């Protein structure tokens, strides 16, 4: 982990020195480390992306955004004749349009970024890749997410299965395609259980918060007036009290709700892995709710409490989790898996970089 | 090392996903890769066509390639990589051992601490000098945008005489401080009892402040204080600093973490509070000095604060007012205390007009 820390710190120092422009090269170095320290069947992954590819991708995304802004400006001048209607100005049109296209584009970028990363990944010298259209994925993902919102999240299994499928079954190692054979029906029962337990947990947490909050206020003889004063003339004490209250509420909710979430996530992850395969290689994992807690909650806290400096530690924990919990059965027939002759995505992850959704 | 000893390695042919355990034997001009079982030759790579991909500090085992091909040779054992590198200068990169991680982390950590401190210093003191250089038209645009947002659902008072009176005094004070631009005072009907300054010399007063004020010198005091904010470019500095801290947090998190946005806002609040205190003290001092320079009654700032202190806010509306942005403290009252002498800032007629500016 020391090596990873040194690479990460170097990246952060350069980020501050270059006001962020070194991030393309820093990310590349971090990926080289992470990829090459992860192996399957004794063979390490190899990352051969270049920082300048990410830079070009970023610049392309910027050009696209500028083009869009120009288009909006033309629309403003020629369609609206520079007249705001109902206090709706040029700036509002632009920001609204960015929100409207930004949501689908984030998904497009996500898929395109995955394609880029896979195209720069090698295993046993064989390039990986991702087929399929990022735009199609963006449209499907937007539609499904919207439908899920309209049905108070009850479509979550349909959404997750249908978003996981293209990302897995379009991925390949050379000529060997991966496959995903899951279906939403399999996980619906568990999801509904999680859904209603979640509602119960929220109600319990809110009730508990009120009970605790009320009794503390009584105990210290606080009135609403005192509370108001506390916030209108903030002192160090107020800030500390507010922080303590926030931590208390956070703990209460996390104790009731996050374990449930981890329980569902662990189940979903086990399902996802065990329903994926690559040729005659089968995958499996027995990741537990507790391990998922460590992955989702503890990792989050580590990054938060170290102001981001704990990130390499989190990555290290994640590598260990993958190494320990991803099991393979069977071996690929090496001779039948061949290198593909087509290249892969030529540019970096412009859209992804712009929306800043890439975990790695 | 005996020249005949072979190095065990994994060989990927670059065309299929087969793995071959091979022995590597360097000769004068070639790397000979052979099957250990029967010594049959797998490949012969001319030494001057070989290269190492990556390095020992990023890659766990940097692969060796023959340039132009996709085949790879991986030697897992670092000691054996080092020995091979010693024999073949082309593969020297294999032997590169990074300095101890601990020492590099210490050095990088120290430079990061210095950089963050320097960055903070640039934000904190740099804005002091940089903010006034921001194009004035941009500052006005910024201030106007914020103003439009703020007053979208409120009534702006239109009393010509009152507005003229307060705008005249505001510009007189600004000129006395050597401020080169026109300032504009807007009055909004109602409460809370407050006044604030936006970038580009835009001042906003709530009419409740005129009603609560005991005399015109209190209003003049508050106005002079706000002009203090204007001439020190406090609103612009505040915004620049908030953005600076935001940027710093993003950079320090390696550009990775959205989680930190939460913390960023926390950092901004702390900064705003810290800035707040320093800015208020500066505006107080400048305000009083400007009134004295013009020979106007300068007891308004402290007497207004005293009055505010006496009747602590009991309702949310007044609490959200002058208390939130200008907390009256004993320290500030002491620092701004002046005798009630000097010319009144408003004539009786103007003072009456100002109090009726919203009628
Ligand atoms: Zn002030």
pLDDT tens for B151-180 read: 777 788 888 888 888 898 899 889 888 888
Domain ranges within chain A, ordered by starting residue = 1-37, 51-181+343-360, 183-261
Note whether B17 contacts A311, CB cutoff 8 Å.
Answer: no
Number of A to B CB contacts under 8 A, please give it. 167
Give the other-Cβ count within 10 Å of A227's Cβ.
13
Q: Which residues surround ligand 1, an ion (CB under 5 A)?
A: B 280, 283, 326
User: Which of A322-336, A346-360, B129-143 has the highest mean predicted lDDT (pLDDT)?
Assistant: A322-336
What pLDDT shows up at residue B326? Answer: 65
Q: Report the distance separating Cα A5 and Cα B106, nearest Å.
A: 10
Q: How does residue B271 score in pLDDT terms, banded at 50, 70 and 90?
A: low
* Chain B residues with CB-CB distance to A26 below 8 A: 254-255
pLDDT given at position A273 = 94
* Interval A184-240: pLDDT, tens: 999 999 999 999 998 998 888 888 777 776 666 665 555 555 555 555 555 556 666
Q: Which residues of A touch B276 (CB under 8 A)?
A: none
B273 CB within 8 Å of a chain A CB: yes
Confidence of residue B98 (pLDDT cuts 50, 70, 90): confident
Closest-CA residue of B relative to A20 is B251
Q: What is the pLDDT of residue A176?
A: 94
Is the per-residue pLDDT at A90 higher than 70? no
Average pLDDT score, chain A: 83
Cβ distance of B18 and A335 shorter than 8 Å: yes
**What is the token pair recorded at B132?**
């006034």
Q: What is the DSSP letter of A86?
A: T
- Predicted local confidence at residue B191, as pLDDT: 73
Q: What is the pLDDT of residue B111?
A: 94
pLDDT of residue B335 exceeding 60:
yes
Question: How far is the centre of ligand 1, averaged over its atoms, from the C-alpha of B226 (Å)?
Answer: 6
pLDDT digits (tens, 9 = 90+) for A288-326: 999 999 988 888 888 878 877 888 899 999 999 988 999
- The whole-number average pLDDT for the span A329-358 is 73
pLDDT the model gives residue A251: 74
DSSP state of A336: G
Cα distances from A226 to residues A246, B67, B118, B305, B315, in angstroms, run: 18, 75, 40, 21, 11
Going from the N-terminus, what domains does chain B have, and what CATH number goes with each? 7-95 (2.30.29.30), 114-355 (no CATH)
B2 shares contact with chain A (CB less than 8 Å): no
pLDDT at B317 over 50: no
pLDDT beyond 60 at B315: no
* B359 — pLDDT class (breaks 50, 70, 90): confident
On whether any CB of chain A is under 8 Å from the CB of B8, the answer is: no
CA–CA distance, B171 with B182 (Å, rounded to integer): 7
Per-residue pLDDT at B171: 92
- Nearest-Cα distance to chain A for B63, in Å, is 9
Distance of CA B141 from the midpoint of ligand 1 (Å):
21
Q: What pLDDT was estimated at residue A43?
A: 94
- Looking at chain A, the whole-number percentage of residues with pLDDT higher than 70 is 82
Query: Cβ(B254)–Cβ(A12) under 8 Å?
Result: yes
Bridge partner list, A130: A171
Q: Please state, for a pLDDT cut of 90, what percent of chain B lies above it.
A: 22
Q: Which residue has the higher pLDDT, A99 or B95?
A: B95
Contact status of B117 with chain A (Cβ, < 8 Å): no
Closest by Cβ to A6, choosing from B105, B115, B250: B105
Tell which wins on pLDDT, A356 or A203: A203
Sorting pLDDT into bands at 50, 70 and 90, what band is A89?
low
What is the pLDDT confidence band of residue B148, given thresholds at 50, 70 and 90? confident
DSSP state of A155: T
Confidence of residue A151 (pLDDT cuts 50, 70, 90): very high
- Residue B109's pLDDT band (cuts 50, 70, 90): very high
- Cβ separation of A304 and B18 shorter than 8 Å? no
Which 8-state DSSP code applies to residue A297? I
Per-residue model confidence (pLDDT) at position B305: 80
Share of chain A above pLDDT 90, in %: 40
Distance of residue A161 Cα from the nearest chain B Cα, in angstroms:
26
Among A40-54, A190-204, B57-71, B114-128, which is the least confidently predicted range? Answer: B114-128
Looking at chain A, list the stretches that DSSP marks H as alpha helix, in order from N- to C-terminal side: 2-17, 23-36, 51-78, 90-119, 134-150, 156-169, 184-219, 224-232, 236-274, 289-293, 299-305, 311-325, 350-355
Average pLDDT score over chain B: 82
Cα angle A191, A195, A199 (rounded to 5 degrees) comes to 165
Residue of B nearest to A173 (CA): B17
Segment A44-66, tens digit of pLDDT: 999 999 998 888 888 888 888 78
**Residue predicted with more confidence, A351 or B193:** B193
* Tokens linked to B346: 């408003």
Residues contacting residue B143 through CB under 8 Å, at least 6 positions apart:
B198, B199, B200, B201, B202, B235
Q: How confident is the model at residue A127 (pLDDT cuts 50, 70, 90)?
A: very high
Interface of B with A in 312-341 (CB under 8 A): 312-314, 316, 319-320, 323-324, 327
In this model, does residue B262 exceed pLDDT 80?
no
HEC secondary structure over chain B: CCCCCCEEEEEECCCECCEEEEEEEECCCEEEEECCCCCCEEEEEEHHHEEECCCCCCCCCCCEEECCCCCEEECCCHHHHHHHHHHCHHHHHHHCCCCCHHHHHHHHHHHHHHHHHHHHHHHHHHHHHHHHHCCHHHHHHHHHHHHHHHCCCCCECCCHHHHHHHHHHHHHHHHHCCCCCCCEEEEECCCCCCEEEECCCEEEEEHHHHHHCCCHHHHHHHHHHHHHHHHCCHHHHHHHHHHHHHHHHHHHCCCCCCCHHHHHHHHHHHHHHHHHHHHHHHHHHHHHHHHHHCCECCCHHHHHHHHHHHCCCCCHHHHCCHHHHCCCCHHHHHHHCCCCCCECCCCHHHHHHHHCCCC
Out of A168-172, B5-9, B338-342, pick the least confident: B338-342
> What pLDDT score was predicted for residue B311?
67
Residues of B whose CB is below 8 A from A124 = 12, 17-19
CA distance A297 to chain B (A): 12
Better-scored residue on pLDDT, A176 or A238: A176
Query: pLDDT band at B97, cuts 50/70/90?
Result: confident
Q: Which of A15, A228, A309 sits opposite B316 (nearest CB)?
A: A228
Residue B223: CB partners within 8 Å, gap ≥ 6? B166, B169, B170, B173, B185, B195, B203, B205, B287, B345
Question: Distance, CA B131 to ligand 1 centroid (Å)?
Answer: 18
């Amino acid at each position: 982990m020391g090596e990873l820390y040194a690479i990460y710190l170097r990246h952060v120092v350069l980020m501050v020195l270059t006001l962020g422009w070194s991030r393309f090269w820093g990310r590349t170095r971090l990926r080289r480390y992470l990829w090459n320290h992860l192996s399957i069947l004794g063979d390490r992954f190899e990352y051969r992306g270049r920082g300048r590819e990410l830079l070009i991708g970023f610049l392309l995304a910027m050009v696209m955004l500028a083009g869009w802004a120009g288009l909006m400006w033309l629309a403003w001048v020629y369609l609206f004749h520079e007249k705001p209607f109902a206090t709706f100005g040029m700036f509002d049109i632009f920001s609204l349009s960015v929100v409207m296209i930004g949501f689908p584009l984030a998904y497009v970028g996500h898929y395109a970024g995955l394609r880029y990363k896979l195209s720069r990944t090698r295993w046993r010298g064989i390039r990986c890749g991702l087929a399929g259209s990022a735009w199609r994925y963006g449209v499907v993902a937007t539609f499904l997410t919207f439908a899920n919102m309209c049905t108070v999240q009850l479509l979550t299994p349909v959404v997750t299965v249908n978003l996981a499928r293209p990302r897995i079954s379009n991925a390949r190692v050379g000529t060997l395609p991966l496959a995903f054979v899951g279906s939403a029906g399999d996980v619906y029962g568990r999801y509904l259980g999680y859904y209603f337990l979640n509602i119960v947990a929220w109600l319990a947490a809110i009730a508990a918060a009120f009970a605790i909050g009320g009794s503390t206020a009584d105990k210290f003889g606080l009135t609403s007036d005192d509370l108001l004063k506390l916030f209108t003339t903030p002192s160090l004490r107020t800030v500390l009290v507010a922080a303590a209250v926030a931590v208390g509420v956070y703990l209460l909710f996390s104790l009731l709700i996050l374990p449930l979430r981890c329980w569902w996530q662990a189940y979903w992850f086990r399902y996802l892995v065990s329903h994926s395969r690559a040729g005659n290689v089968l995958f499996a994992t027995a990741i537990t709710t507790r391990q998922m807690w460590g992955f989702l909650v503890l990792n989050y806290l580590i990054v938060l409490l170290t102001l981001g400096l704990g990130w390499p530690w989190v990555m290290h924990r994640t590598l260990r989790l993958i190494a320990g919990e991803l099991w393979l059965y069977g071996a690929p027939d090496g001779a039948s898996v061949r290198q593909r002759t087509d290249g892969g995505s030529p540019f970096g992850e412009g859209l992804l970089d712009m929306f800043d959704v890439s975990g790695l | 090392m005996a020249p005949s000893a072979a190095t065990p390695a994994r060989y990927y042919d670059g065309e299929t996903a087969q793995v071959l355990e091979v022995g590597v034997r360097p000769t004068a001009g070639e790397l000979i890769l052979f099957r250990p079982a029967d010594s049959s030759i797998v490949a012969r790579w001319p030494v001057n066509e070989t290269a190492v991909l990556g390095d020992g500090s990023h890659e766990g085992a940097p692969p060796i390639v023959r340039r132009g091909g996709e085949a790879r040779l991986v030697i897992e054992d670092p000691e054996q990589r080092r020995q091979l590198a010693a024999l073949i200068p082309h593969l020297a990169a294999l032997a590169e051992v990074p300095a101890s991680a601990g020492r590099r982390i210490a050095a990088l950590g120290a430079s990061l601490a210095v950089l963050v401190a320097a960055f903070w210093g640039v934000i904190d003191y740099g804005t002091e000098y940089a903010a006034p250089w921001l194009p004035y038209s941009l500052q006005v645009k910024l201030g106007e945008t914020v103003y439009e947002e703020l007053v979208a659902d409120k009534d702006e008072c239109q009393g010509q005489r009152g507005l003229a009176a307060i705008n005249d005094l505001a510009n007189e004070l600004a000129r006395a401080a050597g401020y080169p631009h026109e300032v504009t005072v807007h009055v909004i009907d109602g409460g809370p009892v407050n006044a604030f300054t936006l970038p580009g010399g835009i001042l906003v007063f709530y009419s409740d402040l005129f009603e609560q004020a005991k005399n015109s010198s209190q209003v003049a005091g508050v106005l002079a204080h706000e002009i203090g904010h204007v001439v020190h470019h406090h609103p612009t500095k505040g915004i620049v600093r908030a953005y600076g801290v935001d940027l710093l947090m993003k950079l320090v998190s390696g550009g990775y973490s959205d989680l930190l946005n939460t913390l960023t806002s926390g950092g901004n609040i702390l900064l705003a509070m810290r800035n707040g205190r320093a800015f208020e003290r500066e505006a107080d001092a400048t305000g009083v000095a400007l009134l004295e320079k013009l020979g106007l009654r300068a007891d308004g700032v402290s007497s207004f604060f005293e009055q505010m202190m006496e009747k602590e806010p009991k309702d949310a509306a007044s609490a959200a007012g002058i208390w939130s942005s200008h907390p009256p403290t004993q320290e500030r009252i002491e620092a701004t205390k002046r005798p009630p002498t000097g010319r009144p800032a408003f004539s009786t007629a103007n003072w009456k007009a100002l109090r009726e500016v919203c009628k």
